[in-house]
Amino acid sequence: MLVSGGGTNLQALIDAQKSGIINHGEIVLCISSNPQAYALERAKNAGIETAVVSKKQSGSQQAFEQAIKDILTEKSIDLIVLAGFMCILSADFTSDYPERIINVHPSLIPSFCGKGFYGLFVHEAALEYGVKVTGATVHFVNEIPDGGRIIMQKAVAIEEGDTPEILQKRVMEQAEWQILPQSVELVSAQLLNERNGK
């Protein structure tokens, strides 16, 4: 898990692992770009090993990404899940993990996605545009922000009186926290089948 903030998506995955939704993979490591991220506490409470790699302290994008790669290699990580990770990863990084990095985006891609569309900005844009349906998309990560192959999507209705904050919460509860664990399980099962030659 790569995280930067509160870790609500991380918590959804921890809960899904406990309840058996995720049973072909195991969350073994949580790397945060922010030493103050509450996600680190969530990981520690669940007995998951943690590490902090600060972009600022690394000095460059290349050094930052290399530090993350070193930890991933050391821990033999097969699948990377971006759970509120607020750093864009370069093509150098993503090309080393083809279809091994998953992200959840709070809209139905290709709407309201790409550079600058994250957090509340996505929901503000959806409300401003006047769409009647939004949702979440889980996709593989490549060198284009929100540009990788789609794994799963779930629609969420926009309701009268929605604010970006209300909509964000509904999209998390009704879409993100459901399809992210399901996608992690699906991809984990596929990776295991590939490894076992099935």
Query: What's the CA gap between 142 and 71, in Å, rounded?
Result: 20
Given 24, 105, 123, 139, the catalytic residue: 105
Query: What's the CA gap between 140 and 151, in Å, rounded?
Result: 7
Query: What's the CA gap between 90 and 142, in Å, rounded?
Result: 9
Closest CA to 3 of 36, 37, 48, 27: 37
- Catalytic annotation on 24? no
Cβ atoms of 68 and 31 closer than 8 Å: yes
Point out the residues that are catalytic: 105
